[in-house]
Amino acid sequence: MSKLPLHTQFSSITELRDALRSGALSATEVARSALDAAQEHENLNAFVHIDPELTLAQAGQVDAALKAGNAGPLAGIPLGHKDVFVTRGWRTTAGSRMLENYVSPYDATVVSRLTNAGAVSLGKLNCDEFAMGSGSETSYFGPVRNPWDHDAVPGGSSGGSAAAVAARVLMAATGTDTGGSIRQPAALCGISGIKPTYGTVSRLGMVAYGSSLDQAGPIARHARDLLELLEAMVGFDPLDSTSLEYCDNEANAPGRIRARFDAAIAGQQKNGSRPLEGLRIGVPKEFFDEGLAPDVAQAVENALRTFEDLGAVRVEISLPRTELSIPAYYVIAPAEASTNLSRYDGVRYGHRTDQYEDIEEMMSRTRFEGFGPEVRRRVLVGTYVLCHGYYDAYYVQAQRVRRMITNDFQQAFAQQCDVIMGPVAPSVAKRIGDNREDPIADWLSDIYTLGVSLAGLPAMSIPCGFGTERPLPIGLQIIGNYFAEGELLAVADCFQQATDWHQRTPGQQ
């Protein structure tokens, strides 16, 4: 039996932090053991770039800060970054040949915030090319494997992040969610992840996919660890024009998530044996359509019953445009992607073909060689829907639908419920290669996550069971109103105090 990395002896970030602060172990020891684990799990293909020297240098600095008594709140926590966050020193590829050897001159805000908080980076994590995909199969560096079953996908696009956390190589990882890429891989790998309200985490230094949708968030084992990470990640960034400034109570004020989490937990404790007494859970009937696999429906139903035992009440709600979220998203996201990706022209960043006669041929060959088939498909779709003549019919129409989807959520929160719950994905993880012939099948499997992204709402995924036909993890989605991350995490925490799905480990169910 292989040796587990040191951080697995601790059940939470705060426990590991206390041990590091007491001097019982060092950040360097923790980092070394995680590096060993990363190597041991190399066959998952979760990492695209590991550099022990950089990791150990960071750990050494953290150890010095621990000694000096001025270490940050995440001091020594071993994590990894999805390879769409630019990093000084480490390559940033976005899973693409286009950026195969690209090294950024600066760190993404998310990366620098976590580093300043003391987290130690183990490296860069594999993902779908430019975060386009639902299975981490579109990466130029090959597919990521699901630690629960190496023939299954880990979900996507933050598949390397989810696989490395699920395999216990890392305590946590960063991810990004444009249409479900934090929630869905967390669900398919049996761990927890949260996509916060759009605009709360800086997009500076996040390789852009769909700018009006992209939002970063953490992936970890449970809600309490997500809280620690998210608190370090959020905050106004003057260098990101879509970052929310804290101008009133509802905005991006430091400490806001923890304050609301603490208040919600205090409320639960006051309620006593039924901590969620009176919590209204909206269950959208459209999330339980014929496309949902029976074992996923059953696991979600069981989770809802647990919530009822904890005092919550279930309210049936309707999100009537759920089906429309797929065409709306797959017009808007590719439209934004086609403009964002125009910067990869062989001049400004990354790959340049060596066979060309003139500049036009240079650009088109560069883009043909640098982008994989899924990215090319999105660029073509995006360019098409933005064309003069089609713009009104597709792009403007999709924006109208987006507004209606947002209104549906707002109406539910205003009139019927405090949180919304349902499945994350229609089935457990598919086998690698299953959807190769039919890319649209992947697009359809995003049905339960896209609406939230179009509306910019916060949502999370927590483990809630296993499939019956194939014993792979199933996730429960919990959606909140804008800025309700603290309450969402408290509701998830209450569930995780009452259940042990989040403690299951691949290989030792």
Catalytic residues: 82, 157, 181
The answer for residues whose C-beta is within 8 angstroms of residue 320's C-beta and 6 or more apart is 286, 408
Of 464, 493, 475, which is closest to residue 303 (Cα–Cα)?
Answer: 464
Runs of H (alpha helix) within 284-324: 294-309
CA distance 121 to 89: 12
Q: Which residue number, 134 or 427, has a Cβ lying nearer to ligand GLN?
A: 134
Q: Which residue number, 26 or 453, has a Cβ lying nearer to ligand GLN?
A: 453
Number of residues that make up the chain:
509
Residue indicated by tokens 């951080």: 7
Burial class of residue 332 (count of CB atoms within 10 Å of its CB; 0-12, 13-18, 19+): buried
Site for ligand GLN in 201-220 (CB under 6 A): 209
- For the bound state, the minimum distance from the C-beta of residue 341 to ligand GLN, rounded and expressed in Å, comes to 13
154 binds ligand GLN (CB under 6 A): no
Binding residue for ligand GLN, selected from 28, 96, 134, 325, defined by CB under 6 A: 134
- For the bound state, the minimum distance from the C-beta of residue 152 to ligand GLN, rounded and expressed in Å, comes to 17
- For the bound state, the minimum distance from the C-beta of residue 162 to ligand GLN, rounded and expressed in Å, comes to 12
Q: Which residue number, 333 or 494, has a Cβ lying nearer to ligand GLN?
A: 333
CA distance 480 to 197: 9
Q: Which residue number, 117 or 187, has a Cβ lying nearer to ligand GLN?
A: 187
Q: Which residue number, 132 or 204, has a Cβ lying nearer to ligand GLN?
A: 132
177 binds ligand GLN (CB under 6 A): yes
Q: Which residue number, 219 or 362, has a Cβ lying nearer to ligand GLN?
A: 219
Site for ligand GLN in 425-484 (CB under 6 A): 446
418 binds ligand GLN (CB under 6 A): no
Of 205, 204, 234, which is closest to residue 217 (Cα–Cα)?
Answer: 234
- For the bound state, the minimum distance from the C-beta of residue 386 to ligand GLN, rounded and expressed in Å, comes to 17
- For the bound state, the minimum distance from the C-beta of residue 315 to ligand GLN, rounded and expressed in Å, comes to 28
Binding residue for ligand GLN, selected from 30, 131, 379, 420, defined by CB under 6 A: 131
- For the bound state, the minimum distance from the C-beta of residue 127 to ligand GLN, rounded and expressed in Å, comes to 8
Q: Which residue number, 83 or 228, has a Cβ lying nearer to ligand GLN?
A: 83
Q: Which stretch binds ligand GLN (CB under 6 A): 3-11, 75-83, 171-179, 248-256?
A: 171-179
DSSP 220: E
Tell me if the bond preceding 157 is cis, omega within 30° of 0. Answer: yes
For every residue of 322-370, DSSP letters joined together read TTTHHHHHHHHHHHHHHHHGGG-SSSSSS---S--SSHHHHHHHHHHHH
Residue facing ligand GLN at closest CB distance: 181
- Total number of residues binding ligand GLN (CB under 6 A)? 13
* Binding characters for ligand GLN, 72-91, by CB under 6 A (x = yes): --------------------
CA distance 501 to 509: 10
CA distance 120 to 55: 7
Burial class of residue 48 (count of CB atoms within 10 Å of its CB; 0-12, 13-18, 19+): buried
How many Cα neighbours within 13 Å face the side chain of 56? 8
CA distance 355 to 475: 48
For every residue of 138-159, DSSP letters joined together read S-TT----BTTBTTB---SSSH
Q: Which stretch binds ligand GLN (CB under 6 A): 166-174, 177-185, 230-238, 454-462?
A: 177-185
- For the bound state, the minimum distance from the C-beta of residue 334 to ligand GLN, rounded and expressed in Å, comes to 8
Q: Which stretch binds ligand GLN (CB under 6 A): 30-38, 178-186, 364-372, 458-466?
A: 178-186
Site for ligand GLN in 317-346 (CB under 6 A): 333
Q: Which stretch binds ligand GLN (CB under 6 A): 143-151, 176-184, 259-267, 281-289?
A: 176-184
In what helix (H) or strand (E) does residue 497 lie, and over which residues does it extend?
helix 485-498
Binding positions for ligand GLN, rule: CB under 6 A: 131-134, 157, 177-181, 209, 333, 446
